[in-house]
Structure 1
Amino acid sequence: MASSDSPRQSFWKKGERSNTKLPGRPQQVHTHSLDTELHTMTQTPSAMAGAPGGVARPRSKTFEEYSKETDDIWDDKEEAFSDLSTEMASLEVDKRRARGRPRADSKGKGKSAELKAFFVDVVKNRGSPRSRPRSQSDKPRKAFADQPGSRERSDSPTDFFDPPDRETMRLQKFGKLLAGPNTDLDELRKLSWSGIPSPVRATTWQLLCGYVPANIDRREETLQRKRQEYYNFIDQYYGNRSDPQHIDTFRQISIDVPRMNPEIPLFQQKIVQECFQRVLFIWSMRHPASGYVQGINDLITPFFVVFLSYYISGDKNPETYDLTKLPEGTLKCIEADSFWCMQKMLEGIQDNYTLAQPGIQTKLLALKDLMKRLDESLSVHLTRNSVEYIQFAFRWMNNLLLREFPLRCVIRLWDSYLSERDGFANFHVYVCAALLAHFSTKIKAQKEFQDIMVFLQNLPTTKWRDSEIELLLAEAYKLKFMFADAPGHLTVLRTS
């Protein structure tokens, strides 16, 4: 058989017809070499020292001598281990290359910067005006494991104790989800609840709103189609803003838009106000059941700022950015994306803005009952001073706390709202309850109706940051966990 002559079989054939040494097999002893060795040792004075009866004792061999005189199966020169030798040689080359690669600074800042740039490139929508051809945009996904954030085996102890920072690790997790062929929306919600990194927030919001599909290959087509659809709405509806049946709506929009966030320069630019007027008027025309209601104008601002941040450099503040520097095509994309995401969000709370606003009435009643259960002393204090929830919390429900917090805090708050199934409808009530509980002591310190109302309408939150919002969200989640699965608590209180 041909296989009998293979290198690995040749050893055993040789062993059968030769004196090849095998492990564990007794070997023939050559007496002449032993006699010579004993004779030499008897002539050595050091060998005789301490020997009982003057009888020579063999000298102990060193390990080097033993290894030279001992044969083993692995010493056979004809055994074929060339494949293993080749693999080990290639591993040594790879290790040498790894040692020659420049390493980021010990604090991980270099890695973070490189990884941020990578994820900004990978997860940005391929349907944007500056998107690359498909063949190029697919490359970062294939080379994902080669990025600085990926772990490599290294001989350097410094590399081993140089883990990426928290932001880099979160970007890595978002990047894997967003750059995959089909984004797992449940995993994306779990990851987004504790906050979304700024470089990937625009894409994540679009996915969580349901504006773009989870399949990455369909996003470009969807974006282009939806943007063109919005441009068609402008041609169809915006020219009718001066018609008698629509002129009152457009006049109210034109009054409300300049009043939005007067302390933020971005919203005082005429080009931005014109964008908002188009978005709000077209939305009112598309939703005649509610039409335009004061308060809806505030709801577009977080989307607009998030999508603007996507297109400008990370070191620029979007709240002070001059939009005249932005290409016209880019601004049109921001406007269209803001319209569609706002519409998706309002679909879940549209009863807040229909006739008599039943959605807000229901939420105010739920908030009142929840506070009776949560903080009875505060509820008694408000009732004793004739303070009704509709007098201060109506704005909280109508504007989704946009006038209670700085815009940067609202954006962080909405990260968690979009991660919840009904965040703007149900979870928002628990956030409002947590907000009242947070200021409970200060509210109870106000002894008059007017003092209480002034405090509630001007909460000291202007200097809040993400850390305070995250504590508020944690408290709201605890309340939801306690009461959401026990609606009987609220029902008993309502009927009592």
Structure 2
Amino acid sequence: MPHSTIMSILRKRLNDFKEVLSSDDIDMTNLRRLCFRGIPDEGGLRSLCWKLLLSYLPLAKVSWSETLRRKRELYKTFIDDLIVMPGEGNNDGERVDVTLHDHPLNLNPDSKWQTYFKDNEVLLQIDKDVRRLCPDISFFQQGTEYPCKAIVNVSGHKRLHHRVQHTVLRSANVERKGLGITKQIAVSVRKAAEDYAPLAEGGEAHWEVLERILFIYAKLNPGQGYVQGMNEIVGPIYHAFACDPDQTWREHAEADTFFCFTNLMGEIRDFFIKSLDEAEFGINSMMNKLTAQVKSNDHEIWLRLHQQELCPQYYSFRWLTLLLSQEFPLPDVMRIWDSLFADENRFCFLIHICCAMILLLRDQLLAGDFATNVKLLQNFPYMDIQIVLSKAAALAGKSLNSP
């Protein structure tokens, strides 16, 4: 396609988005239609559209300012109230005498110190996960322009990494599915210290921001807590918001990410709760729907996998639970999520994408034995994401092309 034609299409798409987003009341039907076909990278459109698609911003633009002010102030309150050090001081700034009130050896379940130690067990897992997020890009190890103000004002005690010791983080094999190869990244002691070390006082790396978001989420959702893999869900959302070209949006990326992540987890929380595996939207139900769709679209592939006893649990558990965030490089993940967030039945479309991935490997799967096919599906080869999404849209009876 000639470059001039491509530019003409892009200009039209940008104008279409501008027209929808300039209305006093956002037409969600039109916005979903546009976003389903992919949100342009220009102008912070993805950041704004995701806030709307994830029900963070109301459709009436007149309400945006008040909604954002209230939500961002609420998030600041969460930081102040939930990230505390027992014995640090009371609200008047006076130090608490632990001998009279509470102390680290107090076994009372209501002890603030007992809560602190339990929180640190959760924090240790969060810390390890966010430090190794997307190791094939440097973004999350870079410093944010807008470190948490509480860090500067309260001697840095809101920096959660201070609370855990990294006795485990000596070496690691970090797997990231990108560019068609499972990348094995050997992390030596020196490399771990250089790449994942916190920044100096007064500064924060992006992974530290994610650590705080996930910790606060776990504190506010004790019935679910933190489950490994949530870092892969929050990462792309934060990346989109923290890279917004508009400084006024970028400055509040942390708070905005927290609420969008919380809203998204409200929809996919069943994936992360083992007791709900058999629920309508539990992970086993989703895998069964995927198997049924493969069977109805290509009986020969289904039969091959069935005869090899290659269960969907071997590969699609991660696909579905993490919304394909580990199967593709980050730019492709964000493009996939444009369609997932825009589709009213978005988790049906997730199954369509997973089915398309299997069907597009038809020849290799029919020719491979069990071991070969397991490896193929667990390490999905590089493929133009538009081919995958076009196939998925066809299965869903939709189109990715402009009308």
Asked if these proteins are the same fold (TM beyond 0.5), I'd say yes
Is 1:234 aligned to 2:150, yes or no?
no
TM-superposition CA deviations, 1:177-231 (whole Å, max 9, x none): 1112111111111111111122222111111111111122221221121111111
| From 53, 56, 61, the counterpart of 1:208 | 53
Amino acid at match of 2:61: I
Match of 2:33 in 1: 190
Match of 2:378 in 1: 457
Is 1:481 aligned to 2:354, yes or no?
no
Structure 1 residue 330 displacement after superposition: 6.8
Match of 1:217 in 2: 62
Match of 1:427 in 2: 349
Match of 2:173 in 1: none
Distance 1:216 1:330 in 2: 15
Residues 340-489 of structure 1 mapped to structure 2, 5 A cutoff: 340-358=259-277, 359-423=282-346, 425-447=347-369, 449-461=370-382, 464=383, 468-481=384-397
Distance 2:138 2:358 in 1: 30
Structure 2 unaligned blocks of 5 or more: 86-112, 143-197, 199-204, 399-403
Residues 137-216 of structure 1 mapped to structure 2, 5 A cutoff: 165-198=8-41, 199=43, 200-216=45-61
Structure 1 unaligned blocks of 5 or more: 1-106, 113-163, 313-326, 483-496
Structure 1 residue 408 displacement after superposition: 0.4
Distance 1:311 1:239 in 2: 33
| From 118, 137, 141, the counterpart of 1:264 | 137
How many residue pairs get aligned? The number is: 301
Distance 2:136 2:325 in 1: 13
Amino acid at match of 1:470: Q
Is 1:294 aligned to 2:228, yes or no?
yes
Distance 1:369 1:193 in 2: 24
1:239 is paired with a residue of what secondary structure?
Answer: coil
Amino acid at match of 1:341: C
Distance 1:444 1:235 in 2: 57
Relative to the length of structure 2, the TM-score reads 0.70
Structure 1 residue 108 displacement after superposition: 7.4
Distance 1:396 1:357 in 2: 18
TM-superposition CA deviations, 1:101-123 (whole Å, max 9, x none): xxxxxx979xx9xxxxxxxxxxx
Structure 1 residue 301 displacement after superposition: 1.5
Match of 1:285 in 2: 219
Change beyond 3 A, Cα 1:201–1:331: closer
1:408 is paired with a residue of what secondary structure?
Answer: helix
Residues 316-331 of structure 1 mapped to structure 2, 5 A cutoff: none
Amino acid at match of 1:402: S
1:294 is paired with a residue of what secondary structure?
Answer: coil
Distance 1:276 1:387 in 2: 36
Structure 1 residue 239 displacement after superposition: 2.3
1:311 is paired with a residue of what secondary structure?
Answer: coil
Distance 1:336 1:427 in 2: 28
The structure whose RCO (Cα within 8 Å, separation 6+) is larger is 2
2:56 is paired with a residue of what secondary structure?
Answer: coil
> Given that residues 140 and 207 in structure 2 are in contact (C-alpha distance below 8 angstroms), is that contact kept between their aligned partners in structure 1?
yes
Distance 1:394 1:206 in 2: 27
Change beyond 3 A, Cα 1:331–1:236: farther
Structure 1 residue 266 displacement after superposition: 0.9
Distance 2:133 2:283 in 1: 21
Match of 2:91 in 1: none
Write 1 or 2 for the structure with the bigger share of helix.
1
2:310 is paired with a residue of what secondary structure?
Answer: coil
Change beyond 3 A, Cα 1:377–1:336: same
Relative to the length of structure 1, the TM-score reads 0.57
Structure 1 residue 348 displacement after superposition: 1.2
TM-superposition CA deviations, 1:261-313 (whole Å, max 9, x none): 1111112344111101111111112222221111111011211121122137x
Structure 1 residue 335 displacement after superposition: 1.0
Deviates more, 1:239-248 or 1:172-181: 239-248
2:396 is paired with a residue of what secondary structure?
Answer: helix
Amino acid at match of 1:283: Y
> Given that residues 298 and 399 in structure 1 are in contact (C-alpha distance below 8 angstroms), is that contact kept between their aligned partners in structure 2?
yes
Change beyond 3 A, Cα 1:357–1:263: farther
The sequence identity of aligned pairs, in percent, is 30
Distance 2:31 2:356 in 1: 25
TM-superposition CA deviations, 1:105-151 (whole Å, max 9, x none): xx979xx9xxxxxxxxxxxxxxxxxxxxxxxxxxxxxxxxxxxxxxx
Distance 1:108 1:260 in 2: 38
> Given that residues 289 and 354 in structure 1 are in contact (C-alpha distance below 8 angstroms), is that contact kept between their aligned partners in structure 2?
no
Distance 2:18 2:326 in 1: 33
> Given that residues 304 and 334 in structure 1 are in contact (C-alpha distance below 8 angstroms), is that contact kept between their aligned partners in structure 2?
yes
Match of 1:276 in 2: 210
Is 1:250 aligned to 2:123, yes or no?
yes
Distance 2:29 2:121 in 1: 43
Distance 1:416 1:432 in 2: 13
1:310 is paired with a residue of what secondary structure?
Answer: coil
> Given that residues 348 and 422 in structure 1 are in contact (C-alpha distance below 8 angstroms), is that contact kept between their aligned partners in structure 2?
no
